[in-house]
Structure 1
Amino acid sequence: MKNKLPPGQFETENWPILHVGDVYEFQEETWDFRLFGEVKEEVTLSYASMMKLPKTVSSINMHCVTTWSKFDSIFEGIAFRELVNLVELNEGVDYVKIYGYYNGDRFAYSANLPLEALLEDDALFVYRWKDERHDWEDISPKHGYPLRFIPPEAFYLWKGTKWASGIQFMKGDEAGFWEEMGYSMTANPFKEERYR
């Protein structure tokens, strides 16, 4: 199937870098990843433990709310579902917030997403990528190294948390960083759900 450009978007071969705040400086000895919220027992993973989880390679199209779209980027990472498998969810969990670094606080950024949409191969915590113009390389610090969440293409890319640090499992939907500023809770680029 031919790639479909969402309305109001233009195609680029580059992967533009856009972010707010400073860039996280990775230190393996202090890095961890938390699974918390509506779970029977919270789990905290070290970087070494995280990187021992099964890996997935997937082609994912990215659509940024600033109007660029990049098709056919190949990412390697840990599928979101692998992390779900590490916890026992309480009954009624339908949403998550994926947390990441913002201005000195590893849990100051978040993006809300529906749980069910994230259980296939196109929802990854990625650490390396390639495309037609690049061989495999680690994602850069400005792109979210050491782990950046890449959402399915049914979501604008602000849902793709950089410098990912945890997942909160929730029974109800809650606004994340950009959603609190008026951006769409659902963020479907094919429906131009940019703002509330």
Structure 2
Amino acid sequence: MQTRVPPGQTVTDGFPVLHYGQVPYYNDMSKWNLRVFGLVNEEREISYKSFMELPRQTFDNDIHCVTTWSKLGNVWEGVTVREVLGDLVIDPRARYVMLHAEHGWTTNLPVEDFLRDTSFLAIKHNGERLTPEHGYPVRMVVPHLYFWKSAKWLRGIEFMADDKPGFWERNGYHMYGNPWEEQRYDFD
């Protein structure tokens, strides 16, 4: 029987808050949008109102932070990546995605990880709307990778041909971040 906890992780009942920089607070949601751009047939900007009208699903998963904590049995409400993309056509040259968040924060993913059925854009965690500290209004959730890949305060999805490091990857974190292989840091 496989454990739900990757090597080097410790289970927590809490939901630690870790981030770099300021927490954004939104007073006027009419100014929030999600931009989809790069190697796609047409760039899009999805307003908060339009995003909130997309069909939602419930997702159950475990999450694993690079700082060695794991939180088991999370219940999220959110929108699938495929629902967000809709009829958008992704250029076949697009092999990577860069997630863009507030304050210039970014993280990279292979496109196949981004498009997995288990990847989604969350608006609620355990029945409660996300708090600003946990990514309100929308955060990416990619549960099979370390949690830094689940960008808080998501504002953009860029499809790219070549991989390039995001914020934490430029600062020594692994380019992929598989918790089962303990791909935490890459200081080479």
Shorter-chain TM-score category?
over 0.9
Bigger fraction of residues in helix: 2
Q: Does 1:159 align with 2:146?
A: no
Runs of 4+ in 1 over 6 A off after TM superposition: none
Q: What amino acid does structure 2 have at the position aligned with 1:87?
A: L
2:124 to 123, 128, 145: 128
Question: What's the TM-score once normalised by structure 2's chain length?
Answer: 0.93
Relative to structure 1, the CA distance from residue 86 to residue 164 in structure 2 (aligned partners, 3 Å threshold; closer, same or farther) is farther
Deviations 1:154-179 (A, max 9, x none): x1111011111010001111111100
Bigger fraction of residues in strand: 1
Aligned residues: 185
Q: CA deviation at 1:117?
A: 1.8
Q: CA deviation at 1:25?
A: 1.1
Partner residue in 1 for 2:79:
78
Relative to structure 1, the CA distance from residue 74 to residue 3 in structure 2 (aligned partners, 3 Å threshold; closer, same or farther) is farther
Alpha carbons 1:34, 1:44 under 8 Å: kept = yes
Q: Does 1:172 align with 2:168?
A: no
The alignment's C-alpha RMSD in Å is: 1.4
Distance in 2, Cα, partners of 1:119 & 1:177: 21
Partner residue in 1 for 2:136:
145
Question: What's the TM-score once normalised by structure 1's chain length?
Answer: 0.90
Unaligned runs of 5+ in 1: 103-107, 131-135
Partner residue in 1 for 2:36:
35
Q: CA deviation at 1:14?
A: 1.0
Task: Give secondary structure in 1 for the equivalent of 2:24.
Answer: coil
Relative to structure 1, the CA distance from residue 2 to residue 19 in structure 2 (aligned partners, 3 Å threshold; closer, same or farther) is same
